[in-house]
Structure 1
């Protein structure tokens, strides 16, 4: 079967091939009237035209491929980010390549090097460590890279994330409003911006309510259920009274609830707990988890738009885009137990 060419589409639509090319290229479609764009697209759909991205790349010195680097595809917060980024990139005529580093620094470095060798136009990176030499290198080279969900301390790269500090403040204010005073924080790893900033926000919110912050933060080794369970075990081993827990994320909260439940400490009878992220199944738990809802799909879409601007020769200044979050109150929080 003979391949449908752009000239065939142009002939059917009654326009010049150059006009048909612009009408089908998301990067320059604004140069053509909407009526013409619709006419060309109807012809392309009717004839079954498939754009030749290789030829387009040769003309523009671009591959029209972007890569999204994530630390763990099994973590349910990442699929919405992927969906948001892919929708924006697809509309712009790009293909999104997904790569999972399994939270390993050397894997991340080799994957990024391989993708660059294959000519990707830019990266969206969700794996940032607080001190990340690889991202510093990308920033120094001016290679289009946007950080999503996590940022790092030094690299001059644009960042899109949720408002971690506001989210934690909402958790503490809610628990204090319920009457809790003995509140602890199961924090995320301190080598991530989310772990550091949520812990700092917890301490600040506790001080604002004139509550002690001494021995109230326990750092978890990862954002996993296993790490949450280990953190809860350390909390119980301290024998420090507590009536509420602010967990670094939903998975940490799940692990903590499981460990505490196995020790005979039940929620919300004996303690309250909050999560962070509002993963898809948090409202299906018994009791359902009170947690901070983060707009991950919007986060991925916003990061993709920032990346496209850079690829289109509009290098952004290193700005941070903090998306608003909200507390979703469910069944894991209530008044503290009465002695």
Structure 2
């Protein structure tokens, strides 16, 4: 009869990592600081031995589930998986896992996922609410839940924020076009019922004002934050007799659709129509022409969200709320 192997334990992990069982417990629970080098040795031993802690018992003792909910607008958009990967990488080093939900910017879906994550007892939530207000999100998750929101307008709602300085990158984009003598600039924005749609339009209007250029409302079109949404919005702009000479788009998927719309109309990009995107997803450097776009730092956003959640879990609800602002910048390629 084959000899049964002993089940891995904290003691066997400690022996393999060359530390005490107490240090292993601290590393896995996150209750006390453990040096990064020691933590890596412990996690390596955990992986090699396929050790699994008793999560139920651990949660009862610590009143933590060591889990975080990350609610994304559209996981089909390559920007959001990059955010999610950065969140995962930070959380994993601290023994946390992430639950990912896709909201599609829909109010009912946002509410359902928030209620479900709160019922599961996650230790924190990070999201960009597109339909619900910050106050509604806080009401759903309760007053004590660590909450990180990627939205600038939270009023008096107790929540930490991670934001990108969209206006900075859009200002660079407008200046780049103006330096080439292009002053007739339109904008393809997201739907007006999604929070990010009006925010990007406001950033575009601020950028135009900073350059001393006129914003023509007839040159602002809206559509879903998708390739098809961008194609439809720009196709409508191009049907105008007084069409713009350049179009800024609310994200790269819309910009890729804008290039397709230009080609369908028999226009050359950038000779007849300059196109600039926003996000700098990997595909932006693979399409033809290669997309000039504003770099929206997805990995930095995810990293900041995860670190802010962990900080809030450690500090509790009484610590002052944080607001992290990350810069954006233009990267010039071929489309403008």
Q: TM-score, normalised by structure 2?
A: 0.87
Structure 1 residues 76-155: aligned runs within 5 Å? 76-129=78-131, 131-138=133-140, 141-148=143-150, 150-154=151-155, 155=157
Report if the CA contact (8 A) 1:185-1:247 is conserved.
yes
With over 3 angstroms needed to count, the CA separation of the structure-2 counterparts of 1:22 and 1:165, relative to structure 1, is same
In 2, the alpha carbon distance for the partners of 1:299 and 1:275 equals 18
User: 1:99 aligns to what SS in structure 2?
Assistant: strand
With over 3 angstroms needed to count, the CA separation of the structure-2 counterparts of 1:279 and 1:6, relative to structure 1, is same
Partner deviation per Cα, 1:89-146 (whole Å, 9 max, x = no partner)? 1111111111112332112211221222122111111334473553241576232111
User: 1:198 aligns to what SS in structure 2?
Assistant: helix
Shift of 1:298: 1.4
Further displaced range: 95-104 or 125-134: 125-134
Report if the CA contact (8 A) 1:267-1:273 is conserved.
yes
Query: Does residue 280 of structure 2 align to residue 278 of structure 1?
Result: yes
Further displaced range: 245-254 or 189-198: 189-198
Gaps of 5+ in 2: none
Shift of 1:10: 4.9
Query: Does residue 224 of structure 2 align to residue 222 of structure 1?
Result: yes
- In structure 1, the partner of 2:62 is 60
In 2, the alpha carbon distance for the partners of 1:188 and 1:214 equals 17
- In structure 2, the partner of 1:28 is 32
Report if the CA contact (8 A) 1:68-1:126 is conserved.
no
Partner deviation per Cα, 1:130-188 (whole Å, 9 max, x = no partner)? 7355324157623211123x444544322213211101101100000111011111122
With over 3 angstroms needed to count, the CA separation of the structure-2 counterparts of 1:156 and 1:232, relative to structure 1, is same
In 1, the alpha carbon distance for the partners of 2:139 and 2:40 equals 43
Q: CA RMSD in A?
A: 2.7
In 1, the alpha carbon distance for the partners of 2:32 and 2:87 equals 20
In 1, the alpha carbon distance for the partners of 2:249 and 2:9 equals 56
In 2, the alpha carbon distance for the partners of 1:227 and 1:40 equals 48
Shift of 1:41: 6.4
Gaps of 5+ in 1: 334-339
In 2, the alpha carbon distance for the partners of 1:34 and 1:209 equals 47
